[in-house]
Structure 1
């Protein structure tokens, strides 16, 4: 049975999975998630109108980009490199960067799309759902379908008063990544890892493809644009295995320090909210959101939705950190302190989290 990816070019997390499938040399066909596909395939299979969804070669239905990738990776039969770095510090950094891409870069990704390119995005959604309709009808359809997505920027913290902070932070990140990719083909060196696939979701589907953000990337950060194009379209050149020295490129440190000061304080606060909710609601399933909380970006304080799922991604980082041997743990803790990420050392873990919906199902 052929592996089938149900998704769309406009989709953040479809971009992550598509790039991985190409890099991992897993043959697949992609099916556009039209209204008919949502109705006939996706909703019956996973219970909600979400993408990406993947049907693997064994007929299993997988949903959630991380679950898809982590389920497919052990079954690979090619002789290419593994997704996760073999050395402890690099794997730690890779998992941190995946969480950063999945859970934090949604802020600039949604901001640029819905602040600058709203009509373009709505037309894209219309074309995805009704590819045979006229452009005029596609726009009308998209205007109805995209309402929940168009509100995402504000919910995630990109309110009007936070626009200067969001854009300053993203433009500075672009400059840092551009300097890194001027010297290295991938985030950790010669080979793409889960770190690269975490960042390719926002940096391809939104910040490369969307007109305003795409123009900004090409003009300000051509090395980032080159990395996006290679990883997404021709990733074979990013399969040269990493060496075994476990060093983190110096050019990556500014990005990691940014991750530490922007994302980690917010994640610690989310953890406190989740711990309190779970103590008050023993045995109940966590909701998708728990109200809102304050966060700080470029010296400005904003408000954003509390998403417990973010802690599932942080839990992956903490699991790796807590599983290290004593020497590796000491080295990792020193590195985390050096980049200002000491919050990960004594993170206020809530009770162990699991995904509520079954994400791996027989066909």
Structure 2
């Protein structure tokens, strides 16, 4: 009996749908994608998940999966080799770090460019996807209604006017670094995409490639990144390729890892301190999606953004793996971390162990 395909509820404009879709295509897993219009949210997503969110995956046995990282990890468990997780310690740690960088940091330029360069276009897209059968003027009205929270999120994530130039300079620096790497390797760690590639593809496809102004910008400034996006979205050879031998970390990846340690890690370290304090002060309370505001710095410019506990759950995946390493493997990884300015990762003060709780977290053991 032929197994039913998975059902993916999402949208082309959705960052995390782009991540899951690319994975499904490379893994050659049969799936049917369904547009998350207003009716789908009302009749399928909210009843199954409890809140409006995409992507949502429904499996062959009608089970529901939510959260792009959890979806991918469950499908890796079910569908086996070839894995998108390198087995060697330096590559695996670096791939996990770059997933966090893509998911939780590149969202800043993704949201900034979308709402400050592509706003009119994306409002029409939101309306078209929310009400695909409506008249254009009705779609525009629906898009305007949906746009407000997302446009505000761009500001909450750090995209305030005083930070625009710094965000753009940092993003263009990252584009240049990734473009230089892709001149040598088709993916981050060789000829097979890793979980790090899938972390990067979400913002780099759904926002930065597909949105018109930023897509044109990418193709002109970093054409090899645009070609990588196309490979990731339409893999020429699913299930093919290898990671580099001997646990090699390409020299061309070091500037990107250095960027993460310089830009994102201090924010994560402060988030951990703030969350630990919040949990001590609010015993038994559910952790909200944001627990205040704090500073972040890009290109010498300091702004403010929300403190997102969920980002620490993502980093915890990397920290948990790091703690399993011993002996020569730990030494090899520590040497890499020293090379990229990752002393703060080695000395990171973890909050209590976390479980994902919807779009936020809860301390392991909390009700």
Which TM-score bucket, shorter chain as reference?
over 0.9
3-state secondary structure, aligned to 1:355:
strand
Relative to structure 2, which stretch is displaced further, 228-237 or 103-112? 228-237
TM-score by length of 1: 0.96
Correspondence list, 1:228-307, <5 A = 228-236=229-237, 239-307=240-308
Deviations 1:178-221 (A, max 9, x none): 01111100011111010000000000000000011101100000
**1:13 aligns to 2:8 (yes or no):** no
3-state secondary structure, aligned to 2:295:
strand
> How big is the shift at 1:341?
1.4
> How big is the shift at 1:284?
2.8
- Counterpart residue number, 2:186: 185
> How big is the shift at 1:259?
0.8
Given that 1:274 and 1:350 are in contact with CA atoms closer than 8 Å, whether structure 2 keeps it comes out as yes
TM-score by length of 2: 0.95
Aligned equivalents of 1:101 and 1:238: distance in 2?
A: 22
Given that 2:28 and 2:238 are in contact with CA atoms closer than 8 Å, whether structure 1 keeps it comes out as no
Given that 2:84 and 2:194 are in contact with CA atoms closer than 8 Å, whether structure 1 keeps it comes out as yes
Correspondence list, 1:70-109, <5 A = 70-76=73-79, 80-109=81-110
Relative to structure 2, which stretch is displaced further, 195-204 or 53-62? 53-62
Aligned equivalents of 2:244 and 2:226: distance in 1?
A: 25
Given that 1:99 and 1:198 are in contact with CA atoms closer than 8 Å, whether structure 2 keeps it comes out as yes
Given that 1:192 and 1:239 are in contact with CA atoms closer than 8 Å, whether structure 2 keeps it comes out as no
Deviations 1:32-58 (A, max 9, x none): 001000000000000111100000122
Q: Tell me how many residue pairs correspond in the alignment.
A: 357
**1:175 aligns to 2:176 (yes or no):** yes
3-state secondary structure, aligned to 1:184:
coil
**1:217 aligns to 2:218 (yes or no):** yes
Deviations 1:219-259 (A, max 9, x none): 00000000000111225267212244001011111111111
Distance 1:339 1:24, change over 3 A: same
> How big is the shift at 1:140?
1.1
Given that 1:285 and 1:356 are in contact with CA atoms closer than 8 Å, whether structure 2 keeps it comes out as no
